[in-house]
Amino acid sequence: MKLQNKTSAPKWQFIYWRRAILYLWPSILLFSVFLFYPLLKTFYLSFFLTDQQGMANVFVGLENYQYIIQSESFHKSIRATLIFVLLTVPTSVIISLFLALIANEKLKGIGFFRTLFASTMGISVAASAVVWLFIFHPSMGLFNQLINTLGGSEIEWLLDPQWALLSISITTIWMNIGFTFLILLGGLQNIDEHLYESARINGAGYFYQLRRITLPMLSPTLFFVITVSLINAFQTFGQVDILTQGGPSESTNLIVYSIYREAFVNYQFGTASAQSIFLFLCILIVTILQFRFGERKVHYQ
């Protein structure tokens, strides 16, 4: 009997593995078609000169990578992307956390404000960008009308290199607040209320509870939100394409828009693929660093 059990164990393991593969097969197929193949194809094209159809013609090795490293336009793109990430990610997380703390209070009519704060989730990037295009309009825009009312001079929000990236950042922060707010609000509502009751019985004030209970218990949610926000910030495209097309003077030429312009405007798919691999490595490194150092301050219990 023991020999039969030993010989039948590998057979049952094979059956379990086969069933597991069958269940995973749809996901494996989708990931292969829409993720793994494009990634490998991009890596392959980054070593070639291509024609206008994106077909590899001449093998050039690392010349595409050398070109983008020496390109002043690519340097501006990296600089603009880093500034954009630093402007948008901390600001959107802080504002969303503030709104989530307010919306978590048990007040009459708070459901209306929760819906209002999360409403930006239901608006597409294109529609949001068009609305902000009118807000930033030099003569009819809301911002310049307010500035004129206060006696100031009009600002060329999307036409001045000093203001264009800030304008894109404001638009992006507004667009991201809905998602970030909703996730943080869910995290706040999962905190055990007994912790606050015990703290109040011991005479702890609001800010002490915020520092000692709310933020530590919310740290897994904050960690998730910050990681996702960082990745999304590096991949920003839609609002740049609609509002500024990378200008003026390439001040808003974020790296994803630079890839798009290199591939579908200049038809240089080889250098665009090299930029894509560079972006992939940047996001990978930032994510690894986030997990390496940021997760140390996360309290899961």
Tokens of 157: 């929000």
Q: Which of 9-23, 169-183, 275-289 has the lowest mean pLDDT?
A: 9-23
What's residue 1's pLDDT?
A: 44
Structure confidence by residue, pLDDT tens digits, 107-136: 888 889 899 999 988 889 999 999 999 999
Residue % of the chain over a pLDDT of 70 = 95
What's at 249, amino acid-wise? Answer: S
Tokens of 60: 């050039």
- Average pLDDT, stretch 37-41? 93
What's residue 160's pLDDT?
A: 92
Sorting pLDDT into bands at 50, 70 and 90, what band is 203? confident
Tokens of 137: 């309009």
| Angstrom distance (rounded) from CA 199 to CA 205 | 8
Sorting pLDDT into bands at 50, 70 and 90, what band is 16? confident
What's residue 301's pLDDT?
A: 59
Total Cβ atoms within 10 A of residue 142:
12
Write the CA distances from 188 to 127, 175, 209, 228, 292, integer angstroms: 30, 21, 13, 18, 25
What's residue 3's pLDDT?
A: 47
**What ranges in 32-109 are assigned the alpha helix state H?**
37-45, 63-70, 72-103
Tokens of 288: 């690894």
Residue scoring higher pLDDT (272 or 297): 272
